[in-house]
Structure 1
Amino acid sequence: MQVFIPNPGRTVSVPVSSPCAATPPSRYPPGDVNPSPLPLCLPAKSSSDMLDYTIRVGDWFDGTGDAIISFSVKGLEGQTGDTPLTLAASFSGSQAVTLILTSGVPKQRYTFTAEITTRMGLVYAVPLTLQINDNTPATPPRSFEVPSVPVDADSFKALIKTLPTSPPAVGELWNNAGGIFIVEAD
């Protein structure tokens, strides 16, 4: 079994409401009928870091039974140079998406979007921003692999009993209780 557990310190929740949503349309600045949401600020990273960032949208689904079925990241394509901010891997569960980001130009701020599609057909583009600090020199992108963790059958069965949902079929991703698992055959 392969296991990846996202860092809760780099998890951001998408708020259900914002100051813009509470402002009556007559109070928007002239010509701005529907202001764009401000980007969520992800914790800064160095160019040499390869870190996970989780965007949690579960509060949007309270009481609806809705869930994430797919997502894409837009705005990182078309970068030039040897150290572009790179999406090395990504995972999604029913209420959150996790991005593994690597590289980036020191002292540069990146703005991009996670576009999330739900089971009910809703689409929400979550604007994100990430600052690359200058703690390390510019570093080319790295590849990412979910680490393999040997687990015997009895331990795996015990783990499954503690989690709220069953794992998917062999080879599929399973994002459950803060861990991301890839189920593999023995």
Structure 2
Amino acid sequence: MPTGVALRDARQQLFAAAERLLLRAGPAALTSRSVTTEAGVAKGVLHRHFSDFDDFLAEFVLDAVSRMDPRVAGLPSAAGTGTVAANLTAALTALFESVAVALVPLVIARDELRARLREPWPAGVPVLTDAARLIGGYLDAEQQLGRLAATADTQTLAAMLIGTCHLQYTGNDHTPPPADDVSRVVSSVLSGAVPR
């Protein structure tokens, strides 16, 4: 790697390489050597910008959270447009076709990584926890607009949507489920909560 490359560029290059490796080969494939090789940089570049590999992984996970797909991040502002089911189906599909599914086993597999993430993220798994919060906020907004039953427990519905879709996306050998399956899950979870 040429000298004088900006810190942010090196970080993003390493994060992009880690994401490709994670999606292609899973969390066991992530090592400092494999990431730097995938990024096409010297191994020392990673250690120049991060105190150790778990520091790199924690920053990688937090970067993935900050880059959440706009269809998920913007979900609360979609309240009152389209249908509740269609909005949720689009957001959940975007979420689970991103790196989110691959981050879960990475975080679970590494004790030191989980410990480091507990400081900025005291509960749950980053990305999925944030997505559940955004979906809950969206459902709250729809409830206030009368498009969701006043008795609906929006936070439980959000958790059910995340959990059920996560199971669908992790059970197919990296093959996303058909769009109709995600739509059917959303409709089932919302049944009784969406006024007819």
| TM-score where L is the length of structure 1 | 0.20
Per chain length, whose mean CA-contact separation is higher, i.e. which structure has more relative contact order (CA < 8 Å, sep 6+)? 1
Structure with the higher helix share, 1 or 2: 2
Structure with the higher strand share, 1 or 2: 1
